[in-house]
Amino acid sequence: MQLREVLSWQTTEGRPLTLHGRTITPISQALRVSTPVGGFVWNRPVAVLVAEGDVVTRQPIVDVTRFALWAMGGGAVLSIVIAALVRRRVRPEEA
Amino acid sequence: MNDELQLIMEKIPSQREANALVERLFVVAEPGAVYSEPVTQGEYTVITAREVTIGLGFGFGGGGGTGPGEDEESAGEERASSVGAGYGTGGGGGGTAAGRPVAVIEIGPSGVRVEPIVDPTKISIALFTAAGSMGFMLLKMLQQMRGD
């Protein structure tokens, strides 16, 4: 079994929709994990492509909630690292 | 013994069926699972975008064995002339699925707008947890510096 068969990260375009002279194509990104004893899928919206005549613009879809959660998680990890470093610096002085 | 093995193998679901089940799971990986059908009201059309997470795991197995017959074993007499046999199979599985709205795509005469959806409940729970852990670490750090 190859790694590509087990783990894949794919970007897929959805069905285009034409409205008000614009063609809107949604794009999603999926992480697929497939093993003989189960599987996992994480699928998220990434952007929409807006085609107006010859001009194609990409409007990203920002997941504000996930961004906030990652920022808080990062802050918590950073505080733990700083606390550990301070503790290490204080200990030799005590000795 | 070969008959018993055959019987056990027949009772256990085949790996092909299990793979088919996992393949059905990957329908969620299609963009149709993330973007809703467009809803039109007047000149405006709205499409919702969501994040989808789904997981599934399962396992199955079986086994069997042979031994002395019940009567001979309890009586402690000479080795069994008849042989007892038993076998068993089992399996189990579990899964999880979650979805969360991420944004609303609004298509109108003036253009296309992507409006993010913020989940205040999730953010506030994470904020309190992070602030609690950071406060705890700060307290420990201060105690350490004071020499407690």
pTM of the model as a whole:
0.71
- Nearest CA to A13 out of A2, A24, A1 is that of A24
- The predicted complex's ipTM stands at 0.79
Facing residue for A41 by CB, picked from B29, B114, B117:
B29
Using a CB-CB cut-off of 8 Å, the residues of chain A touching B34 are: 14, 26, 28, 43-45
pLDDT of B2:
66
CB contact under 8 A, A65 and B28: no
pLDDT tens per residue, range A27-73: 999 998 988 888 899 999 999 999 988 899 999 999 999 999 999 88
Nearest CA in chain B to A79: B134
